Structure 1
Amino acid sequence: MSTFIVEGGHPLHGNITPQGAKNEALQILCATLLTPEKVVVENLPDILDINNLIALLSDMGVKVEKQSAHSYSFQADNIDIEYLKTPEFLRKAASLRGSVMIVGPLVSRFGQAILPKPGGDKIGRRRLDTHFIGIQKLGAQFEYLTTSKAYSITAPNGLSGSYMLLDEASVTGTANIIMTAVMAHGTTTIYNAACEPYIQQLCKMLCRMGAKISGIGSNLLTIEGVESLCGTTHRILPDMIEVGSFIGMAAMTGSEITLKNVCYDELGIMPDAFKRLGIEIVRQNDDIHIPAHDGYTIETFMDGSIMTFADAPWPGLSPDLLSVFLVVATQATGSVLIHQKMFESRLFFVDKLIDMGARIILCDPHRAAVIGSGRLNSLRGTTMVSPDIRAGIAMLIAAMSAQGVSQIQNIDQIDRGYENIDKRLNSLGARITRYSD
């Protein structure tokens, strides 16, 4: 288990470019299975989850060629379907949450898929009903194999378009259903579809490959099935969660930094939400400049009541950002309620922030009240264990702003979502040392 040793209290200065978006990249990589032709994907982040999925695709028979540090070509013209039944595939797929999205492309193109119970962050119940019900409505059949503890998905009569109203606007569920439907016979209508920029990116890529999708950017998608798809080139958006993480780091450490090429128009309400925390954000074309802050004060609502930040489907605030908002609020002046609606275990890391001196009341598994007193209540270094990607980056932000030295264990969780984060931050003035077992 690798560890970060973080010496807090050092301001950052300079420019940093966010990596490609992890959540988009997982969808796009799975979509390369939909065609036997070559697909080039640019701006892929060099992180553990993405590298593991690329390795899994290669093991399945996809021809993978690394063209540059962040650009790969994929050609799925000789997929080994029998490999999906092997213990090796089941083990590798089970360790990666994003593997659930290979089901749609495989069933769409080959009429069959195998899915072990996927892994990922331990942040509470993460059900797959939306995926399964949507794919079943298109004609697929699911069978649970008790011996291998995996689902066998087949489409013995082919796939046919269907109307469906999703029970939740699941991003990965919507992506999986879209990829299943693009080559189904007839018309598919998906209502209450997720409409995040990453879903829009997936739809635009599929349309360049020959798919017929209308309603992109809305929660009502109409898909006309086609016979086959061709190759294309696609560029991944910058990771908005990393953009938010860097904004939080700048605020917490009183730093002046510039985030380069952030695709500002795709960030939704996130910049305005940080402004409500009292953080000054200056847009410079497609860059974000964060001036040095001596302190920042949380706004209240118009009636004077305490500000609440809650996650919501797009264009609401991403649940992946709430951990960052929570830790940034500890050093603000004012109070805020953080309401994590989607996952019941994501706020449990706050006990470590309390150990560091943060004034937080964990009301229940979904809500935390943060009482900020500005720089008068500076955090102090401590030892922590990262339970998941987003809590891990929040811990790192806290440690960088704290007085003294902190130790963060299990940083493999952070590496799953953030590319060379220690090296990139050290180049701006941070003091982070990595120790690997």
Structure 2
Amino acid sequence: MSSFRIKGGSALKGEIIPQGAKNEALQIISATLLTAEPVTLHKIPNIRDVNKLIELIGDMGAEVEKLDEESYRITAKEINVEFLESKEYKEKAASLRGSIMILGPLLARYGKAKIPKPGGDKIGRRRLDTHFLGFQALGAKFNYSSKDAFYSIDATDLNGKYIHLDEASVTGTANIIMAAVLSKGTTTLYNAACEPYIQQLCRMLNRMGAKISGLGSNLLHIEGVKQLGGTEHTLLPDMIEVGSFIGLAAMTQSEITIKGAGVEHLGLIPEVFRRLGIQMVIQNDDIIIPAQKHYEIDTFIDGSIMTVADAPWPGFTPDLLSIVLVTAIQAKGTVLVHQKMFESRLFFVDKLIDMGAQIILCDPHRATVIGLDRKQNLRGIKMSSPDIRAGVSLLIAALSAEGESVISNVEQIDRGYQNIDARLKALGANIERLD
């Protein structure tokens, strides 16, 4: 297990380029299973979860060519569906939550699939009902074996249906779209997630020959086609990395330029950080965050304490609430952070409190941050990364703190942020990876 040793308290400076979007990559890579023709992908992030998924579809028989550091050509001409019965598949798929995304393509193209209960972050209950109910509405039949924790799915006769999703799940929406594009008839998907990553997936599938309309809305119409062809696709910049770098700049009083931030696809992210008092200048597609000694949290119009809560797109993404929370530690003022979707995602605040932060954990979903306004520095401690986003939040706190911090279990951070230690070193961070 690897660790980061960080000596904090130094301002950083320079330019940083966000990686390709992790959450888009997991969908796009899975979508290559829908066609026998080559699909070329660019801006693929070099992170654990993405690399595991690429390895998994290679094991299934897809031809995977790495063209350069960020580009792949994947040709799923012949997939060995029998591999899904193997012990190797069960172990690999169970360790990767993103493995759920291969179900839709396999059901659409081969009429059957198997999946073990997937792994992932320990951030609370993350149900799969939206995926499965959508597949069942299209005609799939499920069998769950509690003995080996395997779901077996028969989808030999998928037909388009009107489906009203029980929640606007991003991965659930993507999976159902991928199953529906090769189904008979027309599927209407209401209460669909409409994140930029879903829009990207739909654009890619349309270039492959799919007939999807309603992009950008929560009402999608999918007219099934008989087969799809190859295409070329470039991923968006990762909005979670962009938000993380904004928080990093504020906490460490650094001047950082985020190059190619994909500004038009960021939604509320810049505005939420502005309401924390963080200044930023947008030039074309770059975001410049000047060094700030002080930043003050806004209040609501009636003077009440500001609340930052997550919501389905175009609301604020839940993946950045941990970053908002840690960024508020050194602000002037108070903010209530309300994590509605995952009940265990705020439990890492005990480590921030040990570092000197003033945070009240109200319940599993809410935390109140009383900003220190630089009157007291955080202090370095030893801690462990519980999940991807909390891990980076702890890393930001450590870089702003006095003294030395050690963060263990950084494999969690590596699952979502590529070469983060090297990239931070290039900005002047004092960080060392210990294996």
With normalisation by structure 2, the TM-score equals: 0.99
Equivalent position of 1:94 in the other structure: 94
What's the secondary structure of 1:242's corresponding residue?
helix
Q: Deviations over 1:178-214 (max 9, x none)?
A: 0000010001000000000000000000000000000
Aligned residue type for 2:103: V
| Number of matched pairs | 435
Q: CA deviation at 1:424?
A: 0.3
Q: CA deviation at 1:145?
A: 2.4
Equivalent position of 1:239 in the other structure: 238
What's the secondary structure of 1:257's corresponding residue?
strand
Aligned residue type for 1:55: E
Q: Deviations over 1:207-251 (max 9, x none)?
A: 000000000000000000000000000001000000000000000
Q: In 2, Cα distance between the equivalents of 1:149 and 1:14?
A: 48
Give 1:310-325 correspondences, 5 Å limit: 310-325=309-324
Aligned residue type for 2:261: V
8 Å Cα contact 2:333/2:371 also seen in 1: yes
8 Å Cα contact 2:357/2:372 also seen in 1: no
Equivalent position of 1:124 in the other structure: 124
Aligned residue type for 2:10: H
Q: Deviations over 1:369-400 (max 9, x none)?
A: 00002100211101110000000000000000
1:207 aligns with 2:206: yes
Q: CA deviation at 1:146?
A: 3.4
1:42 aligns with 2:42: yes
Equivalent position of 1:168 in the other structure: 167
Equivalent position of 2:426 in the other structure: 427
1:354 aligns with 2:382: no
What's the secondary structure of 1:167's corresponding residue?
coil
Q: In 1, Cα distance between the equivalents of 2:234 and 2:154?
A: 32
Q: CA deviation at 1:31?
A: 0.2
Equivalent position of 2:75 in the other structure: 75
**Shift >3 Å, 4+ stretches:** none
Q: In 1, Cα distance between the equivalents of 2:148 and 2:208?
A: 35
1:194 aligns with 2:189: no
1:153 aligns with 2:153: yes
Q: In 1, Cα distance between the equivalents of 2:10 and 2:195?
A: 35
Aligned residue type for 1:286: D
Structure 1, unaligned runs of 5 or more: none
Q: CA deviation at 1:269?
A: 0.6
What's the secondary structure of 1:373's corresponding residue?
coil
Q: Deviations over 1:381-427 (max 9, x none)?
A: 01110000000000000000001110100000000000000000001
Aligned residue type for 2:160: G
Equivalent position of 1:32 in the other structure: 32
Q: In 2, Cα distance between the equivalents of 1:428 and 1:132?
A: 44
Q: In 1, Cα distance between the equivalents of 2:305 and 2:281?
A: 25
Q: Deviations over 1:264-305 (max 9, x none)?
A: 000001001000000001001100000110110000000000
Q: In 2, Cα distance between the equivalents of 1:144 and 1:36?
A: 30
Q: Deviations over 1:38-61 (max 9, x none)?
A: 000100000000100000010000
What's the secondary structure of 1:424's corresponding residue?
helix
Q: In 1, Cα distance between the equivalents of 2:288 and 2:226?
A: 47
Q: What percentage of residue pairs aligned between the two structures are identical? A: 66
Equivalent position of 1:410 in the other structure: 409
Q: Which range moved further: 140-149 or 257-266? A: 140-149
Equivalent position of 1:63 in the other structure: 63
Equivalent position of 2:134 in the other structure: 134
Q: In 1, Cα distance between the equivalents of 2:134 and 2:208?
A: 23
8 Å Cα contact 2:9/2:400 also seen in 1: yes
Q: In 2, Cα distance between the equivalents of 1:331 and 1:294?
A: 10
Q: In 2, Cα distance between the equivalents of 1:386 and 1:64?
A: 32
Q: In 1, Cα distance between the equivalents of 2:46 and 2:294?
A: 34
Q: CA deviation at 1:134?
A: 0.4
Aligned residue type for 2:270: P
What's the secondary structure of 2:374's corresponding residue?
helix
With normalisation by structure 1, the TM-score equals: 0.99
Structure 2, unaligned runs of 5 or more: none
Equivalent position of 2:7 in the other structure: 7
Equivalent position of 2:275 in the other structure: 276
Equivalent position of 1:393 in the other structure: 392
Aligned residue type for 1:119: G
Give 1:284-295 correspondences, 5 Å limit: 284-295=283-294
Q: Deviations over 1:55-79 (max 9, x none)?
A: 0010000000000000000000110
Q: CA deviation at 1:6?
A: 0.5
Q: CA deviation at 1:255?
A: 0.3
Q: In 1, Cα distance between the equivalents of 2:317 and 2:137?
A: 28
Equivalent position of 2:248 in the other structure: 249
1:328 aligns with 2:333: no
Q: CA deviation at 1:147?
A: 3.8
What's the secondary structure of 1:185's corresponding residue?
coil
Q: CA deviation at 1:15?
A: 0.6
Aligned residue type for 2:401: A
Q: In 1, Cα distance between the equivalents of 2:87 and 2:122?
A: 23
